Structure 1
Amino acid sequence: MVEWFTFTQIVIALAAGVLCLVLGLIGRTPSDLSMGPIAFVALLLIAQLVTSAIAPAVGNHPTGSLLEFWMYQVAIVLVPLLAMVWALVERGRWSVVVLGVAGLAVAVMLYRMWVIWTGA
């Protein structure tokens, strides 16, 4: 994993999660303001998937469990996508809170993936 890219993703996921939590708790329903940041997080996670697949070929080998890392990688891409589907199906304020929780969960999972990759 590329360290600066990973920590940039963590900051963006945290910001998107907090924004969606605040919007949901004040009663806003899903809109571009809440779906956009989570969609951007999902796009960054797809870029992370590609980067993680290429990294070992260029000399950046993982030191932790490769199986555990790839299980996280598959699950982390699904989290924001499934949260966005939920927000589109159930157009209430709680679906925006779910988007926020998904953003925060992505941040934690990214950090765990970095720990697995680096063996820190």
Structure 2
Amino acid sequence: MIEWFVNALAGVAVVAGLLCLVLGLAGRKPNDYTLGATLLVEILLVVQLVISLVAPATGNLPTGSGLEFWVYLLSAALIPPAAIFWALIDRNRWSTAILGVACLAVAVMVIRMGQIWFVQVA
């Protein structure tokens, strides 16, 4: 993993989550902005997946459990598509709020993935 990318991904996920939550609580239905923000989080997660596949080959190994890291990463990668699917099926204000909660959950998971990769002692 690359530390600055982890921080950037977490930051984008928090901004996207807050945007979706605010618009959802304001009564807005899912739109291009909320779905696009959630899609951006998913794209960044896919980039993180590629980085995580390449990093060990370059000597950048996790300090914590590799299995725990991969479970977090794969689970986090499933959350935004599920939320987007929900928002497209059930287009109401709560679907927009669900997009926000999904993005915030991804932010928390990405921060934990960073802890597993960088902070723990093997």
Q: Into which bin does the TM-score normalised by the smaller protein fall?
A: over 0.9
Alpha-carbon separation, structure 2, partners of 1:81 and 1:52:
20
Q: Which runs of 4+ in 1 moved over 3 A?
A: none
Corresponding residue number in structure 2 for 1:114? 114
Q: CA RMSD in A?
A: 0.6
Identity of matched residues, %:
53
TM-score using structure 2 length: 0.97
- Runs of at least 5 residues in structure 1 that lack an aligned partner in the other structure: none
C-alpha deviation, 1:113, in angstroms: 0.3
Look up the equivalent residue of 1:47 and give its one-letter code: V
C-alpha deviation, 1:118, in angstroms: 1.1
Asked if residue 58 in structure 1 is aligned to residue 58 in structure 2, the reply is yes
Q: Could you report, residue by residue, the CA deviation over 1:81-103 in whole angstroms, capped at 9, with x for unpaired residues?
A: 10000000000100000000001
TM-score using structure 1 length: 0.98
- Runs of at least 5 residues in structure 2 that lack an aligned partner in the other structure: none
Q: Could you report, residue by residue, the CA deviation over 1:14-52 in whole angstroms, capped at 9, with x for unpaired residues?
A: 000000000000000011011011100000000000000
Alpha-carbon separation, structure 2, partners of 1:119 and 1:21:
31
Corresponding residue number in structure 2 for 1:99? 99
